[in-house]
């Protein structure tokens, strides 16, 4: 099949109101497709789902070990965080060890998604800083690598040594020559590949030997799910639901990946409509399909067969996975 396959359905009053479609690939450690929906060769931008790939040069260069980076910092380098104090305090401390301030970032200021952090800024009559950007952990990693390389400060330039290293890592793990890139919300280049290539990369991470850069990154993510995203977020809640055995990472415009170390498998999916609810429903369905996620866990039920309620709290519908995913 080359067309998008059904991912999720919205039912209301017994009527099928909406259908979300997309593409998904499950790969094994040889890079072969175990299962697929839609078009495995669809060219995609993985967005923030590629952060662990962008973090690889931080480790392979020796920068992470030279700076004594902790597992928390490695998790933050892969994070799309909420801008909560648990995130910004740690990124701020990381900046201090580099002798840098918020001005060194190139990600831009962003209002925190964490409500207490957002309200705290409002009460203090303060504007958000770049450290509140959901990608500030990744950018702290970029700054660490920039210092290690002795490179110029504009580390998001596609021609910068940091970004050239990221592209080399991306093409190595996807097994493809990237056809190009788009500029992400945080101003860094985001390289394109096929969906199969991204699933192949995640399977490569899953099968990586103990002590490798890939293993250290997904272990850090699984050890600190609260740093990878934050409270109420799918990445954090679903990783906890699976007892930290699987690493998950969302990406903008309906992207999601999973790294399954015990199974030595990787998943990549893209909701064609770009909606978060479709991608979260689809990744939960595939994890249930593979037997690694309890279908009755509360975190699962928020995304799979999830009730839709109106402003009065009345249940008006349900979000269901498409039958083909289960």
pLDDT tens over the chain, length 326 residues: 689 999 999 999 999 999 999 999 999 999 999 999 999 999 999 999 999 999 999 999 999 999 999 999 999 999 999 999 999 999 999 999 999 999 999 999 999 999 999 999 999 999 999 999 999 999 999 999 999 999 999 999 999 999 999 999 999 999 999 999 999 999 999 999 999 999 999 999 999 999 999 999 999 999 999 999 999 999 999 999 999 999 999 999 999 999 999 999 999 999 999 999 999 999 999 999 999 999 999 999 999 999 999 999 999 999 999 999 98
Backbone angles phi, psi at 245, to 5 degrees: -85, -20
184 to 106, 144, 168, 247: CA distances (angstroms)? 12, 20, 18, 22
Look up tokens 């396959």; give the residue.
5
Tokens 């979300």 belong to which residue? 20
33-37 and 15-27 as β-strands: parallel, antiparallel, unpaired?
Answer: antiparallel
Confidence (pTM) = 0.96
Query: What is residue 1's predicted lDDT score, i.e. its pLDDT?
Result: 60
Please tell me whether residue 321 adopts helix, strand or coil conformation: strand
Q: What is the DSSP string of 143-200?
A: HHHHHHHT--S-TTSTTSHHHHHHHHHHHHHHTS----EEE-TTSSEEE-EEHHHHHH
Q: In the chain, at which residue ranges do the beta strands (DSSP E only) sit?
A: 5-12, 15-27, 33-37, 43-44, 181-183, 189-191, 193-194, 247-251, 255-260, 265-271, 306-309, 315-321
Within 8 A by CB and 6+ apart from 307, the residues are 315, 317, 318
Q: Are 48 and 249 in contact (CB under 8 A)?
A: yes
- The closest alpha carbon to 229, from 117, 47, 78, belongs to 78
> Domains of the chain by range and CATH?
5-325 (3.40.710)
Q: What's the confidence (pLDDT) of residue 263?
A: 98
| 131 DSSP 8-state letter | G
Residues 6 or more apart whose CB falls under 8 angstroms from that of 126 comprise: none
């Amino acid at each position: 099949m080359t067309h998008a396959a059904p991912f999720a359905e919205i039912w209301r009053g017994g009527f099928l109101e909406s259908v979300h479609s997309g593409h998904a690939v499950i790969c094994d450690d040889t890079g072969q497709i175990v299962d697929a929906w839609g078009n495995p060769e669809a060219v995609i931008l993985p967005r923030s789902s590629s952060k662990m790939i962008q973090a690889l040069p931080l480790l392979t260069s020796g920068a992470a070990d030279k700076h004594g980076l902790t597992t928390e910092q490695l998790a933050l380098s892969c994070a799309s965080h909420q801008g909560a104090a648990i995130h910004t305090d740690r990124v701020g401390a990381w900046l201090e060890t580099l002798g840098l301030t918020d001005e060194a970032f190139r990600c831009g200021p962003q209002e925190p998604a964490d409500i207490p952090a957002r309200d705290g800024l409002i009460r203090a009559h303060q504007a958000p800083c770049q450290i509140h950007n959901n990608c500030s952990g990744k950018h702290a990693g970029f700054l660490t690598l920039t210092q290690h390389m002795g490179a110029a400060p504009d580390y998001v330039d596609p021609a910068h040594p940091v970004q050239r290293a990221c592209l080399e890592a991306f093409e190595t793990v996807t097994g493809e020559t990237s056809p190009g890139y788009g500029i992400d919300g945080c101003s860094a280049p985001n390289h394109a590949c096929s969906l199969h290539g991204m699933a192949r990369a995640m399977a490569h991470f899953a099968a990586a030997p103990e002590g490798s850069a890939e293993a250290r990154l997904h272990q850090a993510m699984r050890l600190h799910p609260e740093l990878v995203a934050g409270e109420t977020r799918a990445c954090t809640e679903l990783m906890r639901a699976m007892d930290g055995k699987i690493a998950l990472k969302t990406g903008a415009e309906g992207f999601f990946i999973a790294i399954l170390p015990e199974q030595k498998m990787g998943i990549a999916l893209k909701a064609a409509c770009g909606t978060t609810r479709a991608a979260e429903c689809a990744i939960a369905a595939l994890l249930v399909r593979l037997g690694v996620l309890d279908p009755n866990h509360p975190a699962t039920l928020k995304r799979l067969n999830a009730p839709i309620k109106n402003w009065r709290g009345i249940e008006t519908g349900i979000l269901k996975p498409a039958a083909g995913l289960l």
